[in-house]
Amino acid sequence: MPTTTAQNQRVLSGMRPTGQLHLGHYHGVLKNWIELQHTHECYFFVADWHALTTEYDHSEKIAAHVTDMVIDWLAAGVTPGTATLFIQSRVPEHAELHLLLSMMTPLGWLERVPSYKDQQEKLKEKDLATYGFLGYPLLQAADILVYKAGNVPVGEDQVAHVELTREVARRFNHLYGKEQGFEEKASQAIAKMGKKNGKLYKNLRKEYLEKGDMESLSVAQALLESQQNISLGDRERLFGFLEGTGKIILPEPQALLTQASKMPGLDGQKMSKSYGNTISLREDPKQVETKLRTMPTDPARVRLTDPGDPAKCPVWQLHEVYSDSDVQDWVRKGCTTAGIGCVECKQPVIEAVQKELKPIQERAREYEQDLNTVQNIINDGCEQARDIARDTLEDVRKAVGLIYR
Ligand code: TRP
Ligand code: SF4
């Protein structure tokens, strides 16, 4: 385990409000969230400020997209009560932490984030030479650190942002974790652990600091986790003391890498709005059928009697997601021997997608007709999130020295 990593298992992730979600989001992100919510304390939020970094000239669409997206989360099975759902801009502490972090983040760190230049290249038609766009990953760091989240489920493209978050947290702790009388407070905290555990902690610390023994570090961390007699503040002190740093105010998160979505779009490329190859979660069943019926197949199969090769056919990729091995065998055999037609081959996929979407769409319709409930869920989530964020900002202001009471 890397040092000064968050000991807590809290999960945080965010999504930019792109409006109604599609099957790519469902298979790539939401199913993962739904699993995590049963095993971890989860916070999922709509990153509306992040949307502004690229959509500042179309901000009028953001609010509707936020609601639509939350409805899709709920319809897909993210459960309020199990997970906390909220909107970034409703927890202004994200902005305050972002500002404070901006004071100590070297420009080079942000300029070096790969997505900075990539996105500017990709979205050439937009002027992204803005202050906010450069700060995008730092805002993301604030999103994560304000909840002291230990785990951040993200796709490959976001790993560099979590890495930056770790560096920023380390720098913050280094700059501001040195409270007055730290060593003395640490000794007092050790005494509170009792004779036996205190001694064990000191020995493990020595093993780690003098010999770099990682095993001792993780045993000591587990020991601290299990202590009932010490306060949260003391625990943070002792985590820091253990590693020879100051008090850990903002723990470093780790990325929970979500496997790249295997969900292909209608043309065999990754499903994405920008490729126009999506099936949205609220797509009408008839429309699902039409879209799948008209999707391209192996170009070699001009006539029914021409054999095909599933490896060259985007429909096959959908069978890989949706069909069991019997159906897959039927496709492989039927295709390569020209025993089945493409229309026939697509039928099980059409039915599987419709079946998957049916309960999602039923729930979405209920929420669409009861926007009050959606608002209440969001309001509750924002409040819960804000309680945690407020506490963190108290700690942060205190550490920086901005307390005027
Ligand atoms: N940048 C992420 C994306 O584009 C969204 C995001 C914003 C996020 N803040 C976050 C993800 C914090 C995880 C944690 O997908
Ligand atoms: Fe594709 Fe199926 Fe047609 Fe073969 S039979 S080309 S796998 S749609």
Residue 2's pLDDT band (cuts 50, 70, 90): very low
pLDDT value, residue 191: 95
Residue 345's pLDDT band (cuts 50, 70, 90): very high
DSSP one-letter code for 29: I
Question: What is the C-alpha radius of gyration for the chain, rounded to an integer number of angstroms?
Answer: 25
Q: How confident is the model over 181-200, as pLDDT tens digits?
A: 888 999 999 999 999 999 99
DSSP one-letter code for 267: T
Position in ligand 2 atom list of the atom nearest CA 313: 1
Whether the predicted pLDDT of 352 surpasses 80: yes
The 10 Å CB-count burial string (b at 16+, else e) for 18-53 is ebbbbbbbbbbbbebbbebbeebbbbbbbbbbbbbb
With CA atoms as reference, report the closest residue to 290 among 358, 343, 361: 343
Where are the chain's structural domains? 5-177+371-400, 182-242, 284-368
Residue 7's pLDDT band (cuts 50, 70, 90): low
Residue 1's pLDDT band (cuts 50, 70, 90): very low
The strand pair at 42-46 and 11-15 is best described as parallel
Q: How confident is the model over 34-68, as pLDDT tens digits?
A: 999 999 999 999 999 999 999 999 999 999 999 99
* Phi-psi domain of 253 (left: phi exceeds 0; alpha: psi -120 through 50; beta: other): beta
The architecture (CATH level 2) of 5-177+371-400 comes to 3-Layer(aba) Sandwich (3.40)
Whether the predicted pLDDT of 334 surpasses 90: yes
- State the distance from the centre of ligand 1 to the C-alpha of 47, rounded, in angstroms: 7
Contact indicator for 115, 160 with CB cutoff of 8 Å: yes
Fold for domain 284-368? Tyrosyl-Transfer RNA Synthetase (1.10.240)
- State the distance from the centre of ligand 2 to the C-alpha of 267, rounded, in angstroms: 13
Q: What are phi and psi of 123, to 5 degrees?
A: -100, 55
- State the distance from the centre of ligand 1 to the C-alpha of 205, rounded, in angstroms: 36
Position in ligand 2 atom list of the atom nearest CA 342: 3
Nearest CA to ligand 1 atom 11: 14
The ligand minimizing its distance to the Cα of 255 is 1
**Cβ(154) – ligand 1 distance below 6 Å:** yes
Q: Which of 196-200, 290-294, 345-349, 401-405 has the lowest mean pLDDT?
A: 401-405
**Cβ(14) – ligand 1 distance below 6 Å:** yes
